């Protein structure tokens, strides 16, 4: 019966069912040979789904579908408020990184509502661009994010695997009510600027049960993020979960109401980090909770760095204007790869305040680690190792 249904789907561009219309991209000209460009077919299927108010599914069957140019799925003039993109196979970017490398996003959803992106693999084929960047010769494009949602609401990203993105894997920008669950991100630990999931200017985002291995932040949290819940995360390799970098712009919205709970960091550069540029800004970080976290050989398990100034460009001799307060670290344990396991390097003009450490136990070489504080104030509760410097 299932095989018969699939056969029918292949024969007809559109099928109606109790779940709504089904649009098979193969019927719009897509080919699963890994060579034929299916960009136009994807857009045709999207436009067909948008033309009706009925709930619709865009079906991408098994196989490798080459998407040779950036594709924008726009919600403007879209009648449907319940489109599911059901990916069974893989969408594959060009191996020549120059084809999409100057684009911001490879697969971009803009001004959409009620979209679910489910299953399958996004293969960004980013290794060539990483090599270009690592060579130091210059002339490399910035690289494209694999999957982005911009100015959208009521979004679900479920069971997607993002492989070898040129740049960021998944970006949520200017969105409301987003659920990301069961996502797997895979890239080399030496892949530059390949953040797993980046959230900015968004509210009501939940990231649940994600397994992320990449060359930059597993999850990065940008300015204007609020009411963010992150739970059951496996991170490594990578640079940890970071709030920031903040304060790059002098005028930017703050970050508040962020929870990171039940996470494991393995061999990462950082564990939980808050990072801001060392220059003036009106940004802020408030009401953040990091809890129930395991560190395994992590270089900087707990860190606040408000003196971020890459290449000493644009910030030497200045101090961060980002105000950090009401940050709690609770039930965090494991091993540090460096002696200083807790480091709070805060702004001399606006010291960190209301920092709380509760039931923290971090060791270095099976001995108690140490902590370091600059311009940080707060309190401790329960057993805290290393000894607090607050």
- Active site (catalytic) residues: 216, 239
DSSP 261-275: EEEEEES-SEEEEEE
DSSP 3-state assignment of 329? strand
The answer to whether the CB of 172 falls within 8 A of the CB of 144 is: no
Report how far apart, in Å, the C-alpha atoms of 222 and of each of 2, 133, 203, 232, 252 are.
Answer: 44, 23, 11, 20, 10
Question: For residues 274 and 308, is the Cβ–Cβ distance under 8 A?
Answer: no
Of the candidates 109, 59, 57, 45, the one whose C-alpha atom is nearest the C-alpha of residue 83 is 57
Max CA distance (Å), the chain: 70
CB-based contact 350:325 (threshold 8 Å): no
Residue 304 CA to residue 360 CA, distance in Å, equals 16
Can you say how many angstroms the Cα of residue 302 is from the centroid of all Cα atoms in its chain?
20
> CA triplet 211, 214, 217: central angle to 5 degrees?
90
Q: In this structure, are strands 367-368 and 352-364 parallel, antiparallel, or unpaired?
A: antiparallel
Q: How many CB atoms are closer than 10 A to CB 114?
A: 18
CA 344 to chain centre: 24
Q: Is the peptide bond before 49 cis (omega within 30 degrees of 0)?
A: no
């Amino acid at each position: 019966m299932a095989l018969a249904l699939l056969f029918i789907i292949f024969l007809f561009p559109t099928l109606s069912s109790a779940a709504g219309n089904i649009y098979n991209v193969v019927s719009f000209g897509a080919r699963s040979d890994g060579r034929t460009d299916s960009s136009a077919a994807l857009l045709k299927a999207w436009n067909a789904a948008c033309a009706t108010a009925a709930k619709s599914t865009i079906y991408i069957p098994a196989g490798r579908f080459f998407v040779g140019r950036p594709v924008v799925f726009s919600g403007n003039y879209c009648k449907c408020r319940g489109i599911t993109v059901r990916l069974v196979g893989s969408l594959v970017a060009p191996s020549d990184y120059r084809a999409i490398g100057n684009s911001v996003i490879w697969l971009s959803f803009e001004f959409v509502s009620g979209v679910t992106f489910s299953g399958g693999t996004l293969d960004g084929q980013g290794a060539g661009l990483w090599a270009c960047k690592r060579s130091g010769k210059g002339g490399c494009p910035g690289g494209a994010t694999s999957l982005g949602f911009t100015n959208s609401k009521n979004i679900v990203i479920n069971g997607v695997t993002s492989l070898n993105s040129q740049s960021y894997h998944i970006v949520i920008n200017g969105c409301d009510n987003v659920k990301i669950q069961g996502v797997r991100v895979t890239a080399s630990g030496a892949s530059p600027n390949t953040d797993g999931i980046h959230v900015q200017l968004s509210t009501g985002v939940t990231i649940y049960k994600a397994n992320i291995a990449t060359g930059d932040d597993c999850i990065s949290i940008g300015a204007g993020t609020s009411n963010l819940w992150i739970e059951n995360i496996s991170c490594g390799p990578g640079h940890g979960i970071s709030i920031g970098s903040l304060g790059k712009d002098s005028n930017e919205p703050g970050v508040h109401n962020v929870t990171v709970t039940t996470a494991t960091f393995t061999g990462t550069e950082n564990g939980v980090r808050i990072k801001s540029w060392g220059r003036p800004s009106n940004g802020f970080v408030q009401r953040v909770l990091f809890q129930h976290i395991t560190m395994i050989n992590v270089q900087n398990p707990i860190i606040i760095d408000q003196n971020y100034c890459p290449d000493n460009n644009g910030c030497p001799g200045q101090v961060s204007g980002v105000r950090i307060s009401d940050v709690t670290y609770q039930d965090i344990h494991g091993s540090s790869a460096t002696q200083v396991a807790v480091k709070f390097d805060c702004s001399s003009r606006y010291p960190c305040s209301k920092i709380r450490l509760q039931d923290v136990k971090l060791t270095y070489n099976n001995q108690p680690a140490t902590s370091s504080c600059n311009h940080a104030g707060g309190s401790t509760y329960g057993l805290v190792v290393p000894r607090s410097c607050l």
